A = this chain, B = another copy of it.
Amino acid sequence: MNLQSARTQLFEIIFGTQTRAGRYYDISLIIAILLSVVVVVIDSVEGFNSEFESVLWSLEWGFTLLFTAEYLLRLWISPKPLAYARSFFGVVDLLAVLPSYLALLVAGAQYLLLIRLLRVLRIFRVLKLVRYLGEANVLIRSLVQSKRKILVFFLSVGVLIVLFGALMFAIEGPEHGFTSIPISIYWAVVTLTTVGYGDISPQTPLGQAVAALVMLTGYAILAVPTGIVTAELSTEILRQRSLTRCTQCERGGHEADAEFCKFCGSELPEPLIKDNPHS
């Protein structure tokens, strides 16, 4: 029974965000994740990794063992271990430690170790903290809301890119770096998105004229996704505002940052954060 109560308490701390201990746990976890990511990133720098080999090795195994212990703990305290193991963060938690063990068995598995960087995804657990979840939800709902318009937009951009790429392949040809249609399409993406590496650039007057057209197109149509997201976001913010209701006078329409009811002055309830333990 004592064990059972410990499990419940640990569940509150590790999966929950409401208790003070739970918040400290989340913050510590985020710091550990960031440090372990820095270790993996630094480990890839030539010269640096040979000089501090043993330090980096120790740190990496320290984090691996820590995250392994945490993974097993989560499996143990979870009421539905299988549901956790199959959830998005459950898989990420496993992928965060597995490559280190596999690298012991398989020789030369250095690219495998990069999978450890998926640890960085665990940082989204931070969004469960305080009120960030609501903000993220507004963003995500706006994007979901406008997904069809964005799809239509990207379909059009895709068709434009293929046609412009093929046109430039015909105009400029292999002697100016446009060696094939795939390369020309790559150039069209680089140009339309206004990145402009300059590794491939048109040389003929006609090619430069078409390139100028591609640039102006890319410059102008950027307005379209921006317009879509802005329009949806404005609607979503307005909708969000009307969701919070005063518990005293039951009136809504409060601004997102309001802490007191503007009609009767009583404190407003916290915005609802549905605490889904397995996500």
Give me the interface of A with B, judged by CB distance under 8 Å: 37, 40-42, 44-46, 111, 114, 117-118, 120-121, 123-124, 126-127, 131-132, 135-136, 138-139, 142-143, 145, 148-155, 157, 159, 162-163, 166-167, 169-170, 174, 179-183, 185-186, 189-199, 201, 205, 208-209, 211-212, 215-216, 218-220, 222-235, 237, 256-257
- A41 to B40, alpha carbons, bound, how many Å? 38
Contact B152 A135, beta carbon cutoff 8 Å: yes
Q: Is the interface of A mostly helix, strand, loop or mixed?
A: helix
Knowing A181-B40, A182-B41, say if A132 contacts B151 (CB, 8 Å).
yes
- In the bound complex, what is the Cα–Cα distance between A224 and B205 (angstroms)? 29
Contact partners of A224 in chain B: CB under 8 A: 139, 143, 229
A223:B226 contact, CB within 8 angstroms: yes
A127 touches B152 (CB 8 A): yes
CB pair A117–B194 under 8 Å, yes or no, is: no
A-B contact pairs, 10 of them (CB 8 A): A117-B162, A132-B151, A132-B152, A136-B152, A139-B153, A189-B215, A196-B197, A199-B201, A223-B229, A232-B237
Q: Are B205 and A196 in contact (CB under 8 A)?
A: no
- Given A197-B197, A222-B226, A230-B230, verify A149-B166 contact (CB < 8 Å): no
| Shortest 9 CB-CB contacts between residues of A and residues of B | A195-B196, A197-B198, A227-B229, A227-B230, A44-B181, A193-B219, A223-B229, A223-B226, A193-B215
Residues in B with CB closer than 8 Å to A237 are 231-232, 235
> In the complex, what's the smallest C-beta–C-beta distance from A226 to chain B, in angstroms?
4
